[in-house]
Amino acid sequence: MTTALRTGQGQRSHRLDPLLRPPSIAFVGASPTPDTAGRTMLFAAALDGYSGRIHAVNPRYDRIGDYACYPDLAALPQPVEHVVLGLGNAQLEAGLLRAVEHGAKAVTIFASCDLTGEPGDPLAGRLAAIAHEAGIAICGGNGMGFCNPSIGLRVSGYASALPMRPGSVAFITQSGSAFSALAYNDARLKYALAVSSGRELTTEAADYMDWALDQPQTRAVGLFLEAARSPERLVAALEKADRLAVPVVALKVGKSRIAAEFAISHSGAIAGDSAAWEALFARYGVMAVETLDQLAASLLLASSCAPLPPGDLASMHDSGGEREMVADLAEKLDVPFADVSTETLTRLQAHLDPGLPPANPLDVWGTGRDFGAQVEGCMAAFLNDPAVAIGVLFQDIRDGSYIAEGFTRAVISARQGRAKPAAVVSNYASVSHRAMALAVTEAGVPVIDGTVEGLVAIRQLMQARDRRAEGRSFPAPVSDAVRRGWRARLADPAPLSAAEAAELLTDYAIPAARTIAADGVDAAVRAAQDLGWPVVLKSAVPGLAHKSDAGGVLLGLRDEAALRAGYARLAEIGPRVTVSPMVSGRIELAFGMVRDPQFGPMLLLAAGGVFIEALADRAVALPPVSQEEAARLLRSLRLHALTGALRGLPAVDTGAAARAFAGFSALVQDLGDLIAEFDINPLLVSDAGIMAVDALIVTRAEAQHRNGAD
């Protein structure tokens, strides 16, 4: 379906076509000297069958191998679209200007674009300005180039001799070494595009991703990201991939720290270094990984097996001990095994040696007699079961082993003619199986190295599938009058009172305890009598952000005497107080908003109360959040284990919590641009629902006013 959606788009012109799909290319700085970038880039260009025009440019030579060599671009017999500047930094600016004069539309630069070695070196900026003015797309500098196997083109001064057959993975990396590692080592991963974006003078990772998504052969995108130079372009590319149902696997390094920017709210303190990227990836269903091995494994599985059908994992093993190891890791990594039917168990039994019980996961190795037929029959039984999404053989296959050949041949045969995918995972990543792994993968059964890598990839695909099937229910929007009223109030630098905060939450369908402000003890008594005993008494001194930390919260005051005594204690902090009813709940949550400088307001859902920072049990998201997504975020917390019925106590109302968080998301969507920091902590959740009992709201106008006063 994904390919069909993009068949027309794949024929459209794209501004990166001259860069990535040029009909002609010139290599400036080409050289006949062995083991140099100048020779490698020229002879690697057509290594995989590129049929476009290739020209060598270097005034020192008349010919390099079979290529005529020209003194400069002006001497070429025809204009070229793409110029590769295999030059040192000192010659780059002149070389780029000559490419502009020639009429080139694209340029690749390998050099660092740095003349001085000092911060703020001006060369890169000058090159970018020249290219922008001329409308030239640059790959690099300080990059490894790119490969477009679909047209057999390599533009790289560091290419390997490993043939690159066309495939369906678009790999875009800001790390040159990651490019070399994934593009030039393992033929199992086959690319529609592999590009090292380098310094991204004019063309960013998001631009390459946009181009790749227009190619109908692209079935998965891999990203190695260090930074987002234009966040809005990255967001647009991720949204495009999500819309086209093309899975994206991302390894983000150097996650920006935002927590230090939030000195007041708990939310800022526990969001952590990776919060913005976590929220961004969650919004668009990006499969986040932590190592290059996980990246490669997830890309291989995603390009071969996505989208997964409904169901869970069925696994086969040739070792009882390794089966237990896989089961332990699957539980730790939250990869569910399918609950197969009685009929499937009966079919399994028919293919097992005596003494081997039918089960999932399954130990299939017995006497070894006729083991190929046994493996094929068991895998076929698994793949026919409606509860199974994917069948996986966990075995340390190795080249030259008749057992491994028999097992893999059986899995391939069982997979043929069936809609469900199958895979092989080696529990020992260093086993010698390069030839067999390639052959089995090319037969339609991807082979993944490493138990954890395989399980992580399976879990990622399951989560991506479940996210797509998830409903999207949002709370009814507030009226325009309510929205306008709150926007006007939040633009005022005066701090919001506790009563105003409660009213704001209530307007956005977040149940909040009624709060009455009082400037003296008699007013506090009247408020308590109005609300009904017992009550909570809180200090309302302006600027007191965390009242509990300052001893400014008194709970469970049951009569007038207790309230008067409590007021006397709080009056030492200041005369202003608030009175609210005592609310009970079995668990405490916290909602928060923090502002990332690149991606804007983010939402935080956490275990709340006085231990919010100590527990740091949180999930993050970008607004808007549906009720279904809110429920999924809640399930991701460790706190969720306490929400069910416990020791005679009824389960808490997690549905009410999800609806409230969706309402909070709508609030941030409508008003977040006016808010600097936002904490609702705690929200008490019981079997009767949820109730917010305290909120901290710092508007941007208030923060700016306070900073100006300081």
Count the Cβ atoms, other than its own, within 10 Å of residue 522: 11
Higher pLDDT, 91 or 551: 91
198: left (phi over 0), alpha (psi -120 to 50) or beta: left
Given strand 516-518, what is the order of strands in its sheet? 516-518, 577-581, 535-539, 553-557
Give the span between the Cα atoms of 498 and 406, in whole angstroms. 71
Angstrom CA distances, 446 to 246, 373, 440, 678, stand at 18, 21, 7, 47
Write down the domain spans for the chain.
2-295, 307-469, 587-709
Model confidence over 603-645: pLDDT tens digits? 999 998 766 666 778 899 999 999 999 999 999 999 998 898 7
Note the maximum CA span of the chain.
103
As a whole number, mean pLDDT of residues 75-104 equals 97
pLDDT of residue 259: 39
Model confidence over 375-405: pLDDT tens digits? 999 999 999 999 999 999 999 999 999 999 9
Residue count of the chain, please give it: 710
**H/E stretch holding 590:** strand 587-596
Strands 388-394 and 422-426: parallel
pLDDT of residue 116: 87
pLDDT of residue 90: 96
Residue with tokens 């309230």: 563
Q: Do domains 2-295 and 587-709 have the same CATH topology?
A: no
Give the span between the Cα atoms of 671 and 22, in whole angstroms. 47
Bridge partners (DSSP) of residue 449 are: 426
Residue 272 pLDDT greater than 50, yes or no: no
In this structure, what DSSP letter does residue 583 have? -
Q: Tell me what percent of the residues of the chain surpass a pLDDT of 90.
A: 80
For the chain, how many helices (H) and strands (E)?
25, 29
Separation of first and last alpha carbons in the chain: 59
Question: What does pLDDT average to over the chain?
Answer: 92
pLDDT of residue 273: 54
Please give the structure tokens belonging to residue 36: 């140099």
Give the span between the Cα atoms of 673 and 656, in whole angstroms. 26
pLDDT of residue 434: 94
- With b for 16 or more beta-carbon neighbours within 10 A and e for fewer, the 391-408 pattern comes to bbbbbbbbeebeebbbbb
Burial (CB count <10 Å: 0-12, 13-18, 19+), residue 301: buried
3-state secondary structure of 651: coil
Give the span between the Cα atoms of 439 and 424, in whole angstroms. 12
In this structure, what DSSP letter does residue 11 have? G
Residue 356 pLDDT greater than 90, yes or no: yes
Contact 198, 277 (CB under 8 A): no
In this structure, what DSSP letter does residue 189 have? S
pLDDT of residue 543: 66
Please give the structure tokens belonging to residue 218: 């692209």
Give the span between the Cα atoms of 563 and 557, in whole angstroms. 6
Which value, in Å, is the radius of gyration of the alpha carbons in the chain?
31
pLDDT of residue 25: 98
Angstrom CA distances, 5 to 217, 221, 466, 471, 639, stand at 11, 16, 21, 22, 41
Give the span between the Cα atoms of 632 and 473, in whole angstroms. 13
Residue with tokens 């067999």: 436
In this structure, what DSSP letter does residue 623 have? S
Beta strands in 383-436 (DSSP E): 388-394, 422-426
pLDDT band with cut points at 50, 70 and 90 for residue 11: low
pLDDT of residue 4: 38
Contact 512, 502 (CB under 8 A): yes
Residue 261 pLDDT greater than 90, yes or no: no
CATH architecture of 2-295: 3-Layer(aba) Sandwich (3.40)
Strands 388-394 and 67-70: unpaired
Please give the structure tokens belonging to residue 477: 């929007």
For residue 588, the one-letter residue type is E
Give the span between the Cα atoms of 510 and 683, in whole angstroms. 10
Residue 275 pLDDT greater than 90, yes or no: no
Model confidence over 509-534: pLDDT tens digits? 999 999 898 999 999 999 999 999 99
Model confidence over 200-236: pLDDT tens digits? 999 999 999 999 999 999 999 999 999 899 999 999 9
3-state secondary structure of 597: coil
Residue 260 pLDDT greater than 80, yes or no: no
pLDDT band with cut points at 50, 70 and 90 for residue 546: low
CATH topology of domain 307-469: Rossmann fold (3.40.50)
**H/E stretch holding 574:** none
Q: Under CATH, domain 587-709 is a member of which superfamily? A: ATP-grasp fold, B domain (3.30.470.20)
Give the span between the Cα atoms of 178 and 180, in whole angstroms. 5
